[in-house]
Amino acid sequence: MIDLFTHEEWQAIRLSLVVAAYAVAMGLPVAIIVSMLLRWPKMPGRTVLNIVAHLPLVLPPVVVGWLLLVTFGIRGPVGSFLNEWFGIRLVFTATGAALACAVMSFPLMVRAIKLSLDAVDSGLEDAASTLGAKSLDRFFTITLPLMAPGVVSGAITAYASSLGEFGAVITFASNVPGQTQTLPLAIFSALQTPGGEEAAARLSAVSVTLAVAGLLLGEWVGKRLRA
C-alpha cells in the first residue's frame, strides 16, 4: 500500500491529518463556550455573536482566508504582535493552515453542540442548584455529559471538514509541499501538472474515503452516546 503513493503524497496525507487534529483542538473549546453563551436568551449581543459564529458557513473560503491574512499576517494587528513579542508566525505555516481550518469548521461544531444543549433539560440543572451544586459542578456533572453527543459529533464532523478545506488554507497558508500542502492542495497541484491525473485520482480516492469514514464515525458515536 505504501508503494501506491509517492513521498510527497504521503506528506500531504499526513499533514492533512495533523492539521485537522490541531484545527479541532483549537476550535472545540471556543465552540463549547460560544454555544453556552448562545443558550442564554438574555445575553447582550447574542444576535451579533450568533452571526459572527456562523459567518464562515456562508462566506467564500477565500474571503475567510483573506481576512485571516489581514488579521494574522506579519503586518496585521494580531500577527505583528505575535511575531514581535513571542516570535510566533502563523501565515504560510502548518499552524496557520490549522487556524484556517478551525475557523471554517467552527460553525459546524457550534451548531452540533447548540442542538445538544437545547435538548438538555434545564430542570435537572435547577434541581442540582437547589441541592447546593455550584456552576462548575453543574456543568461537569450534568450539562457536559448530556451535551457530549453534540460535542463528539461536532468534533468529528469538523475534523472531516478540515480534511477537505481548500480556499482558506491556500489563501492564508499558501501551498508549500511538505509544509502547508494538505490533501486538497496536493490534488490541486497534481491537476496543474501535465500527466498528474493519476496522482489526483489516487489522492481524491483517499479524500473521499476519509470524508465518508468521518461522517459514518460521527453518526455511530452520536448514536452510541445518545443511547
* CB of 11 closer than 8 Å to CB of 181: yes
Distance CA 192, CA 219 (A): 36
φ, ψ of residue 5 in degrees (nearest 5): -125, 145
pLDDT at 107: 96
Q: What is the DSSP letter of 227?
A: -
Distance CA 191, CA 157 (A): 27
User: Nearest Cα to 20, choosing from 150, 166, 201, 199?
Assistant: 166
Residue 3 gets which letter from DSSP? G
Q: What's the pLDDT at 70? A: 95
Crossing angle of helices 197-226/144-163, nearest 10°? 170
Angle (CA) 176-179-181 rounded to 5° is 55
> Which of 63, 153, 144 has its CA nearest to residue 104?
63
Rounded Cα distance between 137 and 180, Å, is 41
Per-residue pLDDT of the chain (227 residues), as tens digits, is 456 788 889 999 999 999 999 999 999 999 999 998 998 877 888 899 999 999 999 999 999 999 999 999 988 999 999 989 998 999 999 999 999 999 999 999 999 999 888 877 777 777 777 767 777 777 778 888 888 888 988 999 999 999 999 999 999 999 998 899 999 999 999 999 888 899 999 999 999 999 888 888 877 877 777 66
With b for 16 or more beta-carbon neighbours within 10 A and e for fewer, the 139-150 pattern comes to beebbeebbbbb
